[in-house]
Structure 1
């Protein structure tokens, strides 16, 4: 089985998760690890399965990943998705984000086999923007409250060893199942 494990990373959160997944699954199949910012033209190789990781932007996969999916014509494919997000995976924002990513992929007739969400540290530039927008508009949706400040502080340690191990287990189990049941 030929797998493309492609990721988009801004603060290295998604890169860490992708590399951990790669280390876990590289001996189970022919796996190409790709940082999408290094891919400017159409891939020449065809893949049986796509694992696509992105950082969260506006409750979806970031625009670079969305553009990559469309440029590479990842449509009507078997895929698994993962996201890094500044909030814990139990937070509604994480749910909204992965659900929007799933919808984006399903609009392209892709078959989603697995999803994974992992908390990552929040880009400090985002916090500056949130503070400025809170100052300008006290009703700003991402108002810098003590709760949000605590969540940002907590995010600094992520992705941690447990997050990476959970990602490895998730995709290892998926591939073991796929290989055993030969459904890809």
Structure 2
């Protein structure tokens, strides 16, 4: 890959922070993590599992703890950049090299590695409820359908909704609804025939 072709990558604001990021790297080099490049930035792995990443942005440079949710964070350094979206990732931001306390950084990284060793990962959260306006409309028009739908376990209801709502186009959603209505009325789960 030519050196320039990666320039447009979001993480490539790195030039602002070259010296700072090299300093972070020199600290991370003291740990047992192995540097790889993923998503256009350095990611440090333990036993093939991504533990931390570093990168420079316009106004700060940061360490990402990819499973940072498990860190005790007694010093309150970590932030969740996107409260509603990010389940496990946490960032530690710096705006100058003098802010980087090597001892603290190494403590946090050691804890992150320990968590990996213990296999701490976020279990996928209980599935968010999916709402299907189109299917709901059908049920509003057909009490029998609504009643039949209610007989399914939440998991099976979820499978129907997911099947309908993962269609990108409305016409596909509608054809999927046509397909599932007789199943719902017949009390046949979406995947029953495969079970």
What TM-score do you get using the length of structure 1 for normalisation?
0.36
More strand by share: 1
What TM-score do you get using the length of structure 2 for normalisation?
0.35
